[in-house]
Structure formats: C-alpha cells, structure tokens
Chains A and B, each alone.
Chain A
Amino acid sequence: MRLTTYLKERSFFIVMSVCIVVLFTAVLAFNGVHPLAIGGSDLAVLIAVGLTIGVDFFRRRYFYDQLDMLLEELDRKHLISEIIDPPGFLEGDLTYEALQGVSRSANEEVARHWRMTEEYRDFIETWVHEIKTPIAAANLIIENNYNEVPTTLLPEISRIESYVEQALFYARGMNVERDYVIRSESLETLVKGSLRKHSRTLIESKVTPQLDDLEFTVYVDNKWFDFILGQLFSNAAKYRRRDGEPAFLRISAELLAPGSAEERVVLRIADNGVGVHPADVEHVFEKGFTGENSRGRGRSTGIGLYICKRLCEKTGLDIALESTLGEGTVVQVTFPRNKLHFVEAKDNSHERPARA
C-alpha cells in the first residue's frame, strides 16, 4: 500500500479539511482576531488532521501489506485466515470476517474431497486384493485342466492381471502416505524375479531377454520396482518389431561416478522394437498420452509409464526414455546410491491439507 494511493483515496477528506481551515481563518480574520492566535489554531487543526491520516495510514498499511505478503508466500492460500490477526479497524475487521467465512468453507470443501479421495482409494485397494483371489483360482484351474482349457485364455488372464496391478499402483502412486519399504536389494535378483513373474508376456510375443552384468546393490521397494519392470516388459512386448527379425530386450547396468556424492547405478532396458516418434518422446510419461505407435496396436490407456514416473518420483529414482523410430527404445532407471536420497525425495505437491 503506497502513501500516494492512500492520499488519493483520502483526497476528499484532505480537501474538505483544508477548506474548513481556510474558512475558519477567514472568519477569524474578519472578526479581528490576532493573526498569531489564528495561526496557532490553524496549526493545531492541521496537526490533528495530519495525525489522524498518518495513524490510519500506518494501521491499514500494516494489515494489507501483511495480507499481501502472506498470500504471496502461502502454499495453500485458503488457510490465510488462520494466520492473520484481526486488524482492529472497521473495514479491516469486515474484510477479516468475510475472509474467515470464505476460508472456512474452502477448507471444509477441501477436507470433504480429501475424504472422498481417500475412501475411493481404500475401496480400490480392497477391491484389487479381493479380485486377486479369483484370478489366482483361474490360473490354477487352467494349470490343472491343461488340455481342456484353450491356451489362448492364458494371455487374456495375464492382461486382466496387469490391468488390475495398474489400478492398484495408480492408487498407490497418488497416495500421500509412504506405504513403501526401501531396502537394499540385488538388482540382478530383482530383474530376474520380474522376468520370471512376467514371463508369459514376453514369451507369447517372442521377445528374448539378454542379461548383461547386473551385480549391483540398489535401494528400492521391491514390489514397486517389480511393477515398473512389468510395465516396461509389457511395452517391449506390445511395441516389438514384427518384420521377422528376432525381438530382444537387452538389460544392462552400470555404476556411474563411483565414490562421489552423485554415485548412482543406471539400469538400461533396451529393445529393438518399433521405437517412439521423436515428437512423442518427451510426452511418454504424461498421463493419458497415447502416441502414434499406440494406434493400431490395440488399446492403450497411456497410464502405464505415467504411473512408473510417479512411483519413481516418490521413491527418489529417475526414469528416462530415449528412442530412435524404427530401431528401438531405451529406458533408463537411475538409482542414487546415497542412502539418504529417499528421505529427500520430493513429494510436496500432494501433502495432506489441514482438516477444517
């Protein structure tokens, strides 16, 4: 709040005060009062007016500047009324009350949506756990009645499984609570475990994994990481080349900047599939993005890589994709070796709002 603006706002009062002083002086002078007495009275009136304006100005400036500053700095601006003090002048108090009302209703609304989201997520989690039992039963039934069940049923069940997993990890990725456990794991064990688990996807589409040296220790949640690998494998299967050349998936790792604070293990998963259009590469991790390639290759939800990205962000990993159209795609997952990385993992964007 600037002085000139304030004075402009008060100009009517100032002009009127000056007019009154002038009038006052004229009347007194006309009645032959001593000029010194007139001057003294005028000065007294002007000082009184000046003080009134001054005190009022500073009081207002204090309140509105504070309001401005807090609004600027606050992350969740709807909580403003919780921090600011009532100003103690009429308009200010009125503003303050209005602000409190707005704030309260906004907080209630936020809390209501928060509860709804939480309930919905709980429901998804429970539902996913429930549905896993019948899927397990279906898998066993197929295994036990091998020659009576058409083999084409197996990949379909796999697909159901993978969509169910997606729903679960979507809910988890959006979750604010850190419901993961980061432990030191052998990269080789994790990759091999995931290849065993997701074997059907790759075998059905004749994509052969080739493993290089993977003997590194990384800090991850094994379940989350398995989901990420599963998504990458299923992409490799979906976007494999179909020109008769053998499709492969080369999995390798290396240690970068050993000994330094930036020491990290990089896992590279390279396929020789159809690749991603250059214009699409930067968008592949966006929610709902389906590029050129997805069209004509069955449905694509554009959610898999998005969830991978979210899960990586939450656990302090980095994921990146490079591709040459027609030659293949390389996905790199970077594991910082600094054990504190997951403490620093930034995830402020979804903090729990205060309850109203």
Chain B
Amino acid sequence: MNWLTNTLWSSVGKKLMMAVTGIGFSVFLVAHLAGNLTLYAGKDAFNAYAEHVHSLGPFLTIAELGLLFFAVVHIATGATLFYQNFKARPVRYSVNSRAGGRTIGSATMPYTGLVLLLFVIFHLANFHFADKTNTTIFQIVASAFLKPEYVFIYVVAMIIAAIHVSHGFWSAFQTIGANHPKYMPYIKGASILLSLVVGIGFGCLPIYVALMT
C-alpha cells in the first residue's frame, strides 16, 4: 500500500483528495437545496420531505457517515495544504500585486473554508441535533428564523459558501486533469452558476421563512 500513500500524500494527491471530496460536497449541496425548496410549498411539504429522508433508515446513516468522512478528509487535507503553502514562502513580498489570475474565491479559500466549518457545526447543532420529540422540523426552522441574528448568520454563511464554491468547483476539475479546450469554458460557467444557485437558493430561504412566520 506504499504506492497508495505515496500517491495520495503527494502535492497532486492532496489536491486530488480536496477535489474529489469538494465535488462530493457540491453534489450534496444541490441535493440539500432541492430538498429545502419544499419550504416554499409550505410546512406540510417540508415536514413530509424530512419524514421521507428519515424513512431511508440505514441508507441515511451511511450517507451521513460518508459526508462526515469526506468532511474529515477535506478539512485535514485543506489544513495541511494551508500550512505547507504558508511555509513555502518564509519571506513575504513587501509589495503584493495581482496579474489577474487570482479571484476573491481563490484568494480566500482557506478562510471561507474555516468559516464554513464553524457554520456547519452551528447549523448541525441548531437543526440536526435539536430535540425533535415534541416538535416538527418545520417548527424548529420557523422558530430559529424568527431571530434576526439567525437570519443574518445564515445569509452571510451562504454568501461565503457561494464564494468558496465559485473557485472550488472549476478548480476541482482542473485538479483531476479535466481541462479541455472544448469543456473548460462550460465548467467555469457551471462554477459561477453553482455559486449563484448556492448563494441565492440557500440565502433566500431564511429570509422567506422569517417573512412568512
């Protein structure tokens, strides 16, 4: 198995792990958003969706453990890359200037990533690990977004997620080697589209719930 660790712990291998787990999260985000859109159909549709997801039983547990594993890999590898990249330039430039390659997304990846980690912990504590014995998930969501500070935190977090995705998505394709003159413009377009879908799609939900209740 020496070849496997040698491949995965190389610089390209670490980026590959970031790319594969990152694409996994992108798929998860789209699925999560599709489910959350039932909120627009009212509380019954949303509760029915939640019930349907929970009726999956062991499959749901496997999916959750899979996401947790992806998260551990993404965070541990990302932290390692950040540390190594920081160490690679011991003396910094006194003048910093961009040539046009860097974007707000690419320049802030480790920081937006850290904020998203804190947000995910906050989000899971709010909804996933909330006591659901005498209440429905819709009631938990509705009461959370009655608090303006919750709406603010969620909207800001989704803008940050959109920025993270705007670089992460196309970058993942470049990392796995999928840079093709015919497809790269579409991958970059899809990256911007996914970023907008995440930002607007998730970002509008807390505002909608807050206004509705």
Chains A and B come from one and the same complex: no
Interface residues of B (CB under 8 A from A): none
List residues of chain A with CB under 8 Å of any chain B CB. none
